[in-house]
Structure 1
Amino acid sequence: MAVIGVIMAVPALISFYVLWVISMLLRPLFILSVGLLLWNFPSTVLKFKQVVNTLAYMFFTNDKKYKKLPEVDMEDFKKHERKTIIFVRHGESCWNDTFNAGERKKVDFIKGFIPGLILAAGTEVYLGLTGRVDSWFYDSPLSEYGIDQIEILAKFLKKPGATTSEQKDLAILNGTSSTSSVLISSNLRRAISTVAIGFRSRLAQNPTQKIVIHPSLQEISRNPDTLSITPVGKQVEASWIEKSNYPHVAGVLQEQCDMKYHIGNKSMSSNGGEKLRGAKLRAGNTIITVVIRRSAVALV
């Protein structure tokens, strides 16, 4: 009977010691975490604001509440000057990697969802504790997979073009055409980085050229990945992924982004209809009319 009693007590003893070890480890980790948060107090405050903004926009924003826009009057439309706009979709972001299947099979996405979510949350905590003004979720940057996608775009732009029409378009995209063109991006990091990486040859050959950043291109959504992390009057900061693996991006973001139209994040009272109605920009003798829902680049 005594032996049976000892055997039955083993699970309880193991559980006790496991919990004791965990508590002993958690205490210093908790103290260290609090110390890091206080040491990086400005970043801690910013991270807290991001959390508050995320919750506020998810529940109270009017971004997706707007009336259907009126049909375009084609007769009136014909009277206006015509411009060509080439749209380029941004690469996959960290948010996309976490919550969207993308090119993955649904089974693979489902199996990897929880591990991916743990990785995302862990990275977010790490960025917060180390005092970095960065985020996996908020204004989600290009993921490594997204950057690989944009590398394919950069290689495509170097191709000669199979037809006369393709050659003409590629010349415009590369900035080597006699037709003037402007690079324009939303104020979200994944879009701006798409331009910086995909069009790096053009930007390197024309160091005075700027990527025009405009809030009318900011994505219409309640999600935190569509909220801009860049304050008014500040240049865009490269993400931790770009700083580690693509250092040239930081230079483009700091030196070749025109932020004069950037007014910060979209307001709670604004809505997507205001963006869709369009905003006019002047760049030399070129007028760019922004009338899109989501985009990375428009060349006019």
Structure 2
Amino acid sequence: MDLGQQDGGSPDIILLWGAVAVALSVLWLLPPGKFTVDALLHKCTLMTYGTVYLLLSKDTRLQLPADPGKAQGRTLKKKRIVFVRHGESVWNECFNKGFGPLFPLRLVRGLLGEMAMILLLDSLFIDSPLSVEGRAQARQLQEYVEGSGDELRNHTEQAVFVTSCLRRAVSTCLVAFRRPLGESRPVWALSCLQEISRNVDTLALAPAGAAPQSDPVDGASCSCVVGTFNSGNKGLLLNGGHRLQEFCEWVFSDCSPATLAPTVIVAGHSLWFRTFFQAYLPHTAYHECKSLKIVNCGVVTFELEMLEDGGGGATYRIDADSVQSLYGGFEKKAARRWKPGAKHD
């Protein structure tokens, strides 16, 4: 089954390689010290991998687990999960607002920005950061958390904070929860939260074991982000379903920072979140979260259960009655109709 509309398409590969060619052609004009060879090589490596990943990846081809609604095992553990979608990214601003008369202007602006930083360990398209609008959305969520969002604020008090290893999710988390995080609470970067898509904006600049280095937004610092659970970019041989399962295992692992916390607050991505709902809600349960994306900086909470299966292992299920939108809600544009038990393609 098609995972739904992806965030962008293949033209970005051609455009990025064009930007590299232009940058290299003027490299000799730049004064010494204005670029680093390591940064350039790392970006070229990522772009090469991004091209291969776009063409060969099976990330969106995943088989949903057996219907959690039919699970008969006893409930072993429960955990409150809070999904927070990142603010709008530069990628979304360029490619996801239609292809009308303003699209060429957005594209040219994005390419010029990419060319200006092509020799630096930064990018507008690879690991796309928050746009200006995305930063404003994160600040609005921050105001809600610190103002009228009593229920969400209560969830933060004893929560473990985790984020995708992509910069836009990191920035959103640091801005929106700046006060609850304070000076000492860590934010754990999990590579299993990396977005489900083939596009280059879903590849991380941060290498394995490193914390994503997000641009400071309104003074928010990345010093609290921990890369211990960042195992690097997603591989060609696995799909998004493996990362969903890995997240569930991490949440309930006795070796996880989430072990003693009643709540896990997750800064992440729309397709990953939507697929998670499709995978772990009972297949007969209807909810808009199965077909609609959470809005930028939207917040949805639910209770995740770990159940004993017949083989001595564990299965996972979302309590359908516990799903609740706390802020923002869902986009109105639905993906292709979701069918229980279908294979994502």
Distance 2:193 2:69 in 1: 23
Corresponding residue for 2:260? 285
Q: How does 1:145-164 map to 2 (within 5 A)?
A: 145-161=133-149
Cα contact 1:231–1:264 (8 A) shared by 2 = yes
Alignment partner, residue 294 of structure 1: 272
**Normalized against structure 1, the TM-score is what?**
0.72
**Per residue, is there more strand in 1 or in 2?**
2
Q: Quick one: structure 1 residues 269 and 79, their matched pair in 2 at CA, closer, same or farther if it must change by over 3 Å?
A: same
Larger relative helix fraction: 1
Larger radius of gyration: 1
Gaps of 5+ in 1: 1-28, 162-166
Residues 160 and 97 of structure 1, relative CA distance in 2, 3 Å threshold? closer
Deviations 1:264-298 (A, max 9, x none): 11111111110122332422513769999535889
Identity %: 27
What residue number does 2:7 align with? Answer: none
SS at match of 2:250: strand
3-state SS of 2:211 partner: coil
Q: How many residues align?
A: 244
TM-score normalised according to structure 2 size: 0.63
CA distance in 2, matches of 1:199, 1:289: 10
Q: Does 2:85 match 1:89?
A: yes
Match of 1:113 among 78, 88, 103: 103
Alpha-carbon offset, residue 61 of structure 1: 1.1
What residue is the counterpart of 1:33 in the other structure? 27
C-alpha distance after superposition, 1:98-141 (max 9, x if no partner): 0012xxxx6xx61211011011111111101xx32111110101
Q: Could you tell me which of 214, 219, 241 is aligned with 1:248? A: 219
SS in 2 for 1:122: helix
Letter in 2 for 1:188: L
SS of 1:157's partner is helix
> Are positions 1:169 and 2:152 aligned together?
yes
Gaps of 5+ in 2: 1-22, 274-296, 304-345
Counterpart amino acid of 1:233?
G
**Cα offsets for 1:68-94 (capped at 9, x unmatched):** 321115554651222111111110000
Give 1:63-212 correspondences, 5 Å limit: 63-76=59-72, 78-101=74-97, 110-128=100-118, 131-161=119-149, 167-173=150-156, 175=157, 180-204=158-182, 207-212=183-188
Q: Does 1:231 align with 2:222?
A: no
Deviation at 1:172, TM superposition (A): 2.0
Q: Separation in 2 of the partners of 1:191 and 1:289?
A: 12
RMSD: 2.9
Maintained 8 Å contact 1:216/1:279: no
